[in-house]
């Protein structure tokens, strides 16, 4: 279901004019790309993928930005213990953003665009001691509002104290 492509930004410094010491001293900033098959409107738990990116980056303290480059999907953080919460969120979003006859967008998926804007296209999570700082009941979700789609999301891990 998931494929990880590792864009190791630091690699450029290996091949460039920078010395080994410059490379070692350079703050780690790494970008990871993931592919996701989204056959239905749902919230897909991507927390393990974000953890995978952080582990590969080697960053112990910093931030992770999880970003979705789509206009009818989003990223959010919410409850992971009771699956009924995601079920209810989907129903709530359907109620809040129904299809309307007066919509003009020719593709016919304006409700999905509205939901994507409401949820937002990214989440920023603190990384501490090499781990995501998430509450016990929190997970990171890719929100699909216009299925079925083959989707992409990015995780940018930035080393900072």
Closest CA relative to residue 4, chosen from 149, 159, 152, 104: 152
Across 79-95, b (16+ Cβ under 10 Å) vs e yields bbeeeeebeebbeebee
In angstroms, rounded to a whole number, what is the distance separating the alpha carbons of residues 92 and 90? 5
Question: Mask 25-44, x = binds Zn ion (CB under 5 A)?
Answer: --------------------
Q: Which is nearer to Zn ion, 45 or 109 (CB)?
A: 109
Q: Can you tell me which of 47, 109, 122, 159 binds Zn ion, judged by CB under 5 A? A: 109
Residues from 69 through 108 that contact Zn ion (CB under 5 A): 107
The minimum distance between CB 92 and Zn ion, in angstroms, equals 21
Q: Which is nearer to Zn ion, 26 or 103 (CB)?
A: 103
**Does residue 147 interact with Zn ion by CB under 5 A?**
no
Return the structure tokens found at 79: 């409850």
Terminal-to-terminal C-alpha distance of the chain: 34
Which residue of the chain is nearest Zn ion when measured via CB? 107
The dihedrals phi and psi of 2, each to the nearest 5 degrees, come to -115, 140
Q: Which is nearer to Zn ion, 117 or 124 (CB)?
A: 117
Q: Which is nearer to Zn ion, 99 or 107 (CB)?
A: 107
The minimum distance between CB 109 and Zn ion, in angstroms, equals 4
């Amino acid at each position: 279901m998931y494929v990880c492509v590792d864009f190791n930004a630091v690699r450029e410094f290996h091949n460039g004019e920078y010395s080994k010491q410059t490379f070692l001293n350079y703050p780690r900033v790494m970008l990871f790309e993931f592919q996701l098959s989204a056959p239905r409107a749902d919230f897909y738990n991507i927390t393990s993928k974000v953890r995978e990116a952080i582990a590969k980056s080697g960053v112990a303290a910093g931030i992770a930005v999880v970003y979705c480059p789509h206009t009818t999907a989003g990223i959010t953080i919410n409850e992971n213990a009771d699956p009924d919460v995601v079920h209810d969120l989907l129903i709530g979003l359907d109620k809040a953003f129904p299809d309307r006859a007066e919509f003009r967008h020719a593709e016919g998926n304006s409700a999905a665009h509205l939901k994507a804007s409401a949820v937002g296209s990214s989440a920023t999570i603190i990384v501490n001691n090499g781990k995501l700082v998430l509450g016990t009941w929190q997970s990171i979700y890719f929100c699909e509002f216009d299925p079925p789609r083959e989707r992409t999301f990015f995780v940018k891990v930035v080393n900072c104290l």
